[in-house]
Structure 1
Amino acid sequence: MSTQDQKVAIITGASQGIGAALVEGYRKLGYAVVATSRTIAPADDADVLTVQGDIADPATAERVVNAAIERFGRIDSVVNNAGIFVAKPFTDYTGEDYATVTGTNVDGFFHLTQKALPHLLTQGDGHIVSVTTSLVDSPDSRVPSVLASLTKGGLQAATKSLAIEYATRGIRVNAVSPGTIKTPMHPEVAHEFLAALHPVRRMGEINDIVDAVLYLETAPFVTGEILHVDGGMNAGH
């Protein structure tokens, strides 16, 4: 069971893939976790509280933060993992695509981080980390993805800005920028094509991203960092 001194992390997009693995990773660090997604099921672990909701809705952010304080009494870390990726030629994007992607990737980050940050400041030693994409820094004509670049690129810029704004107040802000990771969202038939996007000629594993997030969580002298975990994509082709 949680104790007054136990740290608490909020993790979005936590029902499957990277998010579910991040919940396990933070638990292994000894954190209590508030895990949220639209479809997340109740947890058997007393130190994992699940909250269903669409992170694009500001009311979800408020419910998640309130639940963390009511259940565990504190918030130490926020992991903005939830994200939507729609690969289309720029002129094929619809208004619905735009609203859906910006809602989850930008609005979700903004509302949750803004509501949680005062509680991190109360602890005086908080961490905010977001999951972006290496397509922001290394676009690829084989994967047209302007909405990913627009939204996740905004998160990378916000990461640096927040890191500087709160550098003297005990809050670190970082991001992990993955390549393509083997998750349920990628059908096996596409793996060969996706592997070829990386200079190392393979896709990443979920644990590669979890390890990167947990490194940043436990690295007290690292802030404002965009950590590329992408099989060399950011270096070039």
Structure 2
Amino acid sequence: MSTPIKVAVITGASQGIGAALVSAYRAAGWRVVANSRSIRPSEDPDVLAVAGDVADPAVAERVIAEGVARFGRIDTLVNNAGIFTAKPFTAFTAEDWAANIGVNLAGFFNVTQAAIRRMEAQGSGHVVQISTSLVDQPINGVPSVLASLTKGGLNAATKSLAIEYAARGLRVNAVALGVIKTPMHPAETHASLAPLHPVGRMGEIEDVVRGVLYLENAPFVTGEILHVDGGQSAGHW
């Protein structure tokens, strides 16, 4: 009996880290279900694009259901979709709150619940959250309460899910990032962002991909918050 081809679901997959993860999993021989609100159909028959906002429970269910219908299984979910709003605490608006809770927490909850139902039935699976090191080490001058609130929630949920499902063949991990060179950060901001990291540079998208793939290929690792942050979480400098 041949080994089935594994399938990864990646949210926030239309650009930046998400798009790079799609390419990396395909290069590793996986099939991919790629989701974002603006995702476009792929010419690759082993990439299924499912558009929509996973903050909507119906969309989250559809992402997983269409992936299973097309490829027959779901082996890994990478919760990459997220937003970051840097404002002084008293400047946050009700709209900021709703957007951060919707994308960072509700989206995670909806699609992860749908994915884990499928993984539990299979008896195997892996879930990875993309988080931030600001949860561990806030930085003066980078006001980030909503990021800390939502991504800190993901870190806590990662550990809780890892313990709940450890005996059922599922692993749950997270990658906590420093500042990564993505379209979110214009080139003119890079010189000011690089010194926020003890190593003296921003992270590259490939650094994130390597972190996720390490966790993918580490079957004895679960409940881990892997910091890919140039030393940011280690302390002050």
The answer, yes or no, to whether TM exceeds 0.5 is yes
Q: Write out aligned runs for 1:1-237 (5 A).
A: 5-237=4-236
Look up the equivalent residue of 2:234 and give its one-letter code: A
* In 2, Cα distance between equivalents of 1:4 and 1:112: 26
CA contact (8 A) 1:128 1:173 kept: yes
Deviation at 1:31, TM superposition (A): 1.0
Contact map agreement 1:88 1:145 (CA 8 A) in 2:
yes
* SS of residue matched to 2:176: strand
Moved over 4 A (4+): none
CA apart distance, 1:123: 2.2
Shift of 1:12: 0.1
Amino acid in the other structure paired with 1:45: D
Q: CA deviation at 1:55?
A: 1.8
**Alpha-carbon distance between aligned partners in 2 of 1:192 and 1:54, rounded to the nearest angstrom:** 33
Write out per-residue CA displacement over residues 126-154 of structure 1, whole angstroms, 9 at most, x where no aligned residue. 10000000000010111000000000000
Tell me the distance in 2 between the aligned counterparts of 1:28 and 1:168.
Answer: 30
- SS where residue 138 of structure 2 aligns? coil
Within 2, Cα distance between the matches of 1:126 and 1:12?
16
Question: Which one is further off, 54-63 or 72-81?
Answer: 54-63
Q: CA deviation at 1:62?
A: 1.1
Aligned residues: 235
Q: Which moved more, 1:122-131 or 1:222-231?
A: 122-131
Question: In the TM superposition, what is the alpha-carbon distance from 1:56 to its structure 2 partner?
Answer: 1.4
Deviation of 1:35 after TM superposition, in Å, equals 0.3
Q: 63-72 vs 118-127, which deviates more?
A: 118-127
Whether the 8 Å CA contact 1:4–1:73 is kept in 2: the answer is no
In the TM superposition, what is the alpha-carbon distance from 1:4 to its structure 2 partner? 7.6
The CA deviation at 1:165 is: 0.4
Structure 1 residue 89: Cα displacement:
0.4
Task: Determine the C-alpha separation between the residues in 1 that align with 2:126 and 2:94.
Answer: 34
Give the Cα separation in 1 of the matches to 2:29 and 2:123.
19
Percent identity, please.
67
- Within 2, Cα distance between the matches of 1:214 and 1:191? 26
Q: CA RMSD in A?
A: 1.0
Give the unaligned 5+ runs of structure 2: none
Which runs of 5 or more structure 1 residues have no equivalent in the other structure?
none
SS of corresponding position for 2:134: coil
Q: Secondary structure at the match of 2:196?
A: coil
The whole-number CA distance in structure 2 between the counterparts of 1:112 and 1:155 is 13
Superposed CA offset, 1:183-220 (max 9, x none): 01101111111111111111000000001001101100
Using the alignment, how far apart are the partners of 2:54 and 2:117 within structure 1?
Answer: 19
Find the residue that maps to 1:222 and give its secondary structure: coil
